[in-house]
Structure 1
Amino acid sequence: MTAKKTPKPKKAKKNWRGTPSPDGLSHKKNETVRRCLATRETLPPERLIRFCVSPDRALVPDLARKLPGRGLWVTADKDLIAEAVAKGLFAKAAHAKLTYPDDLDALIRTLFVKRLQSLLGFAKKAGLVVSGFEKSAEALTKKQAFCLLEATDAATDGREKLNRLRGDTPVLSVLSADETARALGAGMGVHTVLKAGGPVDLFVAEAKRFGAYCKNEQV
């Protein structure tokens, strides 16, 4: 009696789509990437902004990448997104005539701020937020900080004092004091230390994407 051959295990499917970006960054072959409509580069989703088309054919920014429908992706860069609109790249990719928000840039900025505020709220609930100058200084001195969040309108002297304490701790400045306080509570918006943890990792990644979108201008 002839023995049955053992079937070979199936190879896992890879999520690789496209070719590596020429920007010098390496992407693993099993890493999901998307192609930018404007540059045609393939990049990780964390470096792009996803858009989708509503049933009434309006272009909708989808920062959380959760809305239904086919995604239209552009590098997180305000100029490239404006270029994609001006050249009709969204409409071409969607194979439809689209309508656009009156001020797409302002809408994207507002959505970024709301998303960052939500992530800050989660980080606070997880006990990963220390706010206020004295508490932030103490956390930096004790090396408890994953990153330092400074309000975009924080006073220069306070920034300089904490900068002398932070060493190589990264610093982010993407929300105003009022925007931060709305997420954390009154009086907690100028100087904030974030400790390592899931919500903070997401916040930092999103803050970097927002900074890239605004070209690291004072946002």
Structure 2
Amino acid sequence: MNIGSDEKKQIARLLNFLLSAEKIAHSCAAKQSKLCDDKTMKHFFIKQARQEKFHALTFQSAILWLAPKGVNSPAKKQIQQYESILNDAIDNHDLLNSIIGLQVILEGMGNVALSHFNAGFKQRGNGYKKIRNVILAQEDSHYDFGLNHLKTCTSPAQHSNHSSNYLSLINDTLLSMQGLFEYFDEDADEYISEFNAILPAWIHENALYHYSNA
């Protein structure tokens, strides 16, 4: 691949961010499988955890190749906070809340980020098309699972007390990465707009209600 040394570092930083999200997804999905009695859902969570581990290992390998000496991880504070509130949902045995946080909101953000990353690789004529498509397809299936599960709930909005916290952290995360996005001639607001556009309307409505009554 024809990539300059500085560009390699910046790509590695972006991958390091995605790696952090994949590690959270792997851990959370594994824990979700232990909270769930439904065999179909349990199988999905176990499968997702395995896929997230594969994604993480893939990103780790790419980072080592791009930046053998290592790079810092963008939005580290926000990612840690996000993991904390997801773990709170798991600790409280609130499976639906964890699905909103992981399969819907975090995976939704990941889909947007990975789609931009994939488009960047295409523009640069870089390879790994097959593995990139596999990861994107798997992430799409995780997000679709979350949306489909919410449709089975009688009133998911009643269980989305933390959706505003999830959304706020994702927005803060993307805004904190503005400098990195600018390197690739992109903008954090564009990411946020695309991310918000794919989420169910009631999640935004719940967040607005929370903010107006804070």
TM-score class, shorter? under 0.3
Between structures 1 and 2, the one with greater strand share: 1
User: Structure 1 length normalisation: TM-score?
Assistant: 0.25
Q: Relative CO higher for 1 or 2, CA cutoff 8 Å, sep ≥ 6?
A: 2
User: Structure 2 length normalisation: TM-score?
Assistant: 0.26
